[in-house]
Chain A
Amino acid sequence: MMRFLCDTAEVPAGETRSVRLEGMPELVVCNVDGEFHVLAATCSHGKASLADGRLLGCEVECPLHSGRFDVRTGRATRRPAKRPVAVYECVVEGGDLYVSDPAPVDSDLAVALRREPASVPPKR
């Protein structure tokens, strides 16, 4: 299901914005040179809102510990963040931004969750 998220004019290029929809986690909308990306806003590491962070090219930076995520895939690109955040499909229609509810299952996050639990072989 696609739900109305916000007016694209509310998120200028190079900026982020927090949006809350009932029944969904806080979302962050990122405008990368006119291309919109929507992610779950809570950092997978420090529990801060990525909406309060800087958008640097295709990466959003957490304001708490400066971990970074690729807004296109949700992949953590800089420590201390290591786990991905969920990415939501979105479409622009007539200046309005719509988001899929729930997040699609083929995101990096879904891949990570399907992965076998991290097994560190004993070193001795």
Chain B
Amino acid sequence: MTYVGERADAPEAAETYHRWSRRYPELGTGPISTERFLSQEQFDQERDRVFAKSWLNVGSTQDLGEPGAFFVRDIAILGVSLLVVQQDDGDVQAFHNVCSHRGNKLIWEPDGTCPGQFACRFHGWGYGRDGALETVPDEENFHFPDKGQLGLVPVRTQVWNGFIFVNLDATGTESLDDHLAGLGESLRDFPFHELKLSYRFDIRERANWKVALDAQNEIYHIPMLAPLHRFLGTAFASNDDGYTRLQDFEKWGPHTVYCSDVDPDYVPTPAEAAIQAACPDFSAPRLPTRAPFAFHVLFPNMVVAFLGNSMFTYNFWPIGVDETVWEIRFHYPHPRTLAERVAIEQMKSRLRDVLCEDQVGHEALQVGLRSRARPDFVLQDQEIQIRSFHKSLDERISGASHV
């Protein structure tokens, strides 16, 4: 297994400043413009040159489970509705969720299992789970020669470690593996299937999608954001002044990962101590890295993060310039005892409160940026991930990097 924390170059002193900007000088040290979070033109470019051409995670095979199982995924920024279906051979295929007859949205339910055919509500056209048009009521009255040409329009679909990705660029040639490259490789051997979806939050917030992603893409704020973040646990090492320090940061093309080390001085909360005592084995980390916290940003809008024994994913879905749906899913090992089940429920409530604290922060950030009080803002070395993300975004938009 490849460990993210392993690198060949010499270790650096823990307390040197500008550690990451020296390692990645190409990311620069300049400010980030305010306008990129407010401009409709920027948003349109992100839609046309990034979202319309990138591999996007739309769900997990855990959302399906049997042949014919499906879910509908509407992607607001692209103005599309997708029907994602598990095929008889176990593969997953996404189609435009659009009837070939009059262009009606085909399936209106959020998810379910295909009852033989997907039937349109409007005139009853029926499609197989492979997208083929099978039933046309009063077919002889139409003028088309061959209904074989009128199946659902497929969308490029690939699965990586159970995560279902689609690419709306029908002419694109980059495979999902090529897109994920080193990041995909680093997590290749991790037993994702051992972690089950335990709970999910979809947060609609009044903030640009990059505001939300950036705010999550650093741990400088962890000891400070009050009142809950500072009790997030033992996974966030800090120096003697209490400032968090990354154990590692790595960049693979447009994707990044940062890791944080154990904080030996962290004093568990009473609830943490009680849970640790009740289920000591459950909380043992099962991680693909040696760090207790690792945050992978899969360009452009997905996060796969490991925290203790859990894995969580984020998907940031732009709705408009200043509106985003932040999709959050937490996965844990299957609980073996009642105590472990209680532990998951406790984490659910606790993290819900922490995430609310984040949401309020995202929206406050947007309010501040929208005032245009400053043309730009600054980032420090522990926020290099943000710098990296924005550079990758600019490169995609300008066409400097391949798609």
Contact = CB atoms under 8 A, between A and B. Distances in A.
Given A45-B242, A82-B242, A118-B240, A123 B248 contact: yes
Interface in B211-246: 223-224, 226-227, 230, 237-243
Interface string A113-124: 000001110111
9 smallest beta-carbon distances between A and B, as pairs: A122-B11, A82-B242, A120-B14, A80-B223, A79-B230, A80-B242, A79-B223, A118-B240, A66-B226
Nearest to B290: A123
B5 A124 contact: yes
B32 to A, nearest CB: 24
A83 interface: yes
Given A79-B238, A118-B239, 11 more contacts: A45-B241, A79-B242, A81-B242, A82-B265, A83-B240, A83-B242, A118-B15, A119-B14, A122-B11, A123-B290, A124-B5
A79 B242 CA distance: 7
Interface of A: 45, 65-67, 76-83, 118-120, 122-124
B11 A78 contact: no
Contacts of B243: 80
17 contacts: A45-B242, A65-B224, A66-B226, A78-B230, A79-B238, A80-B238, A82-B238, A82-B240, A82-B241, A82-B242, A120-B15, A120-B237, A123-B5, A123-B290, A124-B5, A124-B7, A124-B11
B248 to A, nearest CB: 7
B290 A80 contact: no
Contacts, number: 52
Nearest to A67: B242
Interface of B: 5-7, 11-12, 14-15, 223-224, 226-227, 230, 237-243, 247-248, 261, 265, 267, 290-291
A50 B223 CA distance: 18
Given A118-B240, A123-B248, A124-B6, A80 B230 contact: yes
Contacts of A65: 224, 226
A80 B240 CA distance: 10
Nearest to B10: A122
Contacts of A120: 14-15, 237, 261
A31 to B, nearest CB: 25
Contacts of A79: 223, 230, 238, 242
Interface of A is mostly: loop
Contact of A66 (B7, B227, B239, B265): B227
Contacts of B12: 122
Contacts of B226: 65-66
A81 B6 CA distance: 31
Centre residue among A67, A82, A83, A118 by max chain B CB count within 10 A: A82
Contacts of B11: 122-124
Nearest to A82: B242
Contacts of A119: 14
Nearest to B261: A123
B7 to A, nearest CB: 5
Nearest to A115: B240
B306 to A, nearest CB: 16
